[in-house]
Amino acid sequence: MCLTDENKNEMVVTPWEVRGKVDYERLIREFGTQPLTDELLKRMAEHTNEHHLQLRRGLFFSHRDLDAVLDLNDRGTKFVLYTGRGPSGPVHIGHLVPWILTKHLQDKFDTRLYFQMTDDEKFVVDDESKLADMTKFGYENALDLIALGFKPEKTFIIFDVQDIDLLYDIALEVAKRITYSTAKATFGFQDSTNLGWIFWPAIQAAPCFIHKKLTGENVPALIPAAIDQDPFWRITRDIAQKLGYYKPAQIHCRFLPGLGEGGKMSASEPETAIFTTDPPEVVKRKVWNAFTGGKGTAAEQKKTGADPDICSVFQYFLYLFEENDKKLTEREKQCRSGETLCGECKKDLTERINRFLAEHQKKREKARSTVDEFHIKR
């Protein structure tokens, strides 16, 4: 929206736009977050008795106050989890990344999850969108969340338009304490930005604090989310203590790359995104056309090897589909040496994705009958 940037390769990361080559170190500096250090990762692994793939492979790379949340937890003050989704269309596997870690944290820390489905946000920020469509996507997207295995008794989905009564008083308290000048500086709002959009950050802040209203317990929220959502938490953290709450903590992930050359997985480029509802032959086609680090000919590749660092297929093994560290290292070695050609990796990845999706799609359909159990109650 607001950022007019002539240079196409220039990095732009806002909650509503991500483009250019993303420099994650630079984001840590510019957003003022903390790097996820080995020490903190070790502490997480000790707490959970598991060094989760997404943590040990660096998919999550930055945080705010994760250490403080663990300190509090050690002293007996638990935390709740909060994350969400802007339901502007179907879910792709990139969207699942923070949800997968969230599920791991729910299991290991036995905590509640508040999940915000922001049909309102997607309505106000997109000129072309219709509210009823966003709401419909919200219910469809909730099926993907549920399919990952969250506990119904500890998971509370907030469908914004339907459940706004639960958020509205909190959003008002938040909104009253954030000036337009702060919001403008944080989000780049302009004179042409509509009012719904300008108020929106107060609504995304509200679930950080909803646990106290529902249960009387004052505990911090920990938010697993992609780094682009950080501006929301910056302004929310500034006012949290004034309202008598803990500052919400975050753990930030990178963007899952698309199957094309560079760029994150994006629903607006459907040929380079794997949707959770894609049938096997569509997955096969998309992976077959993926950008790899391979050479022009098989002969050349056998001689000089290929480059997994720039290969989109390898990123999927790394971040999602190859749990086994040894096997991953082996795949990487064979790629660099030219022993394995791209066709083989593509075939393996297609198989892995389709195996995962077959299960996911079954659970997703089953979720239609349980979605009510996950819907937040009054």
**Of the two residues 100 and 335, which places its CB atom closer to ligand TRP in the complex?**
100
Residue choice 223, 239, 306, 349 for contact with ligand TRP (CB under 6 A): 223
Which has the closest alpha carbon to 7: 24, 25, 21?
21
Q: Where would I find the H helices in 216-322?
A: 230-240, 280-288, 298-304, 312-316
The span of 146-154, 223-231, 265-273, 363-371 binding ligand TRP (CB under 6 A) equals: 223-231
Distances (CA, A) of 171 to 107, 206, 239: 29, 5, 12
Residue choice 121, 163, 322, 332 for contact with ligand TRP (CB under 6 A): 121
Q: How many CA atoms lie within 13 A of 343 on its CB side?
A: 5
Minimum separation from the CB atom of position 16 to ligand TRP (A): 8
Q: Is residue 211 involved in binding ligand TRP (CB under 6 A)?
A: no
- What is the secondary structure of 194-216 as a DSSP string? -HHHHHHHHHHHGGGGHHHHHHS
Residue choice 141, 186, 193, 229 for contact with ligand TRP (CB under 6 A): 229
Size, binding site for ligand TRP by CB under 6 A:
13
- What is the secondary structure of 36-91 as a DSSP string? --HHHHHHHHHHHTS--HHHHTTSEEEEESHHHHHHHHHTT---EEEEEE--SS--
Residue choice 54, 106, 141, 204 for contact with ligand TRP (CB under 6 A): 204
Angle between helices 180-187 and 195-205 (to 10 degrees): 90
Q: Which residues of 93-131 are buried (b: 16+ CB within 10 A; e: fewer)?
A: bbbbbbbbbbbbbbeebebbbbbbbbbbbbbbbeeebee
**Of the two residues 141 and 315, which places its CB atom closer to ligand TRP in the complex?**
141
The amino acid at 31: F
CA angle 109/113/119 to nearest 5° reads 160
Q: Is residue 135 involved in binding ligand TRP (CB under 6 A)?
A: no
Q: Is residue 83 involved in binding ligand TRP (CB under 6 A)?
A: yes
Minimum separation from the CB atom of position 228 to ligand TRP (A): 8
Residue choice 64, 85, 252, 331 for contact with ligand TRP (CB under 6 A): 85
**Of the two residues 81 and 313, which places its CB atom closer to ligand TRP in the complex?**
81
**Of the two residues 62 and 301, which places its CB atom closer to ligand TRP in the complex?**
62
Distances (CA, A) of 268 to 117, 288, 299: 19, 19, 36
**Residues of this chain, 275-304, that bind ligand TRP according to CB under 6 A:** none
Q: Is residue 236 involved in binding ligand TRP (CB under 6 A)?
A: no
The span of 58-66, 115-123, 183-191, 239-247 binding ligand TRP (CB under 6 A) equals: 115-123
For ligand TRP, the binding residues (CB under 6 A) are: 15, 82-86, 116, 118, 121, 204, 223, 225, 229
